[in-house]
Amino acid sequence: MIDYKGYTGVFDYDPEAECFSGHVVDLRDEIYFEGASVPALKASLKRAVDHYLTVCEQRGEKPDRPYSGHLRLRMDSGLHREVAVAAASRGVSINRFIIETLEKRID
């Protein structure tokens, strides 16, 4: 993973082509980048994101922003109840409980 201006790019290496290629994962729009070395890959990501932002500005469109911080969850009503009880027993909101639980699980 590499980041630029809050946009996250993931990439793979193709040994036959001896080239890295990747895409930005945070958007509905598609942004691709590539390079024969890590520095070239990073430069390509920067150019691609900057180009995307310029095009959006020229069109008068708001660019997609990586992750709003809002996430809707659907779960079984029994699990919902268990989460609510666990949150209440810890004296926190369901939202806070879910965030803390996720933070513990992600390295």
pLDDT in tens, 28-55: 889 999 999 999 999 999 999 999 999 9
- How far apart CA 58 and CA 60 sit, in angstroms, is 5
Span 45-96, pLDDT tens digits = 999 999 999 999 999 999 987 677 778 889 999 999 999 999 999 999 999 9
Taking alpha carbons only, the member of 54, 64, 53 closest to residue 26 is: 64
- How far apart CA 106 and CA 103 sit, in angstroms, is 5
Question: 107 pLDDT band (50/70/90 cuts)?
Answer: low
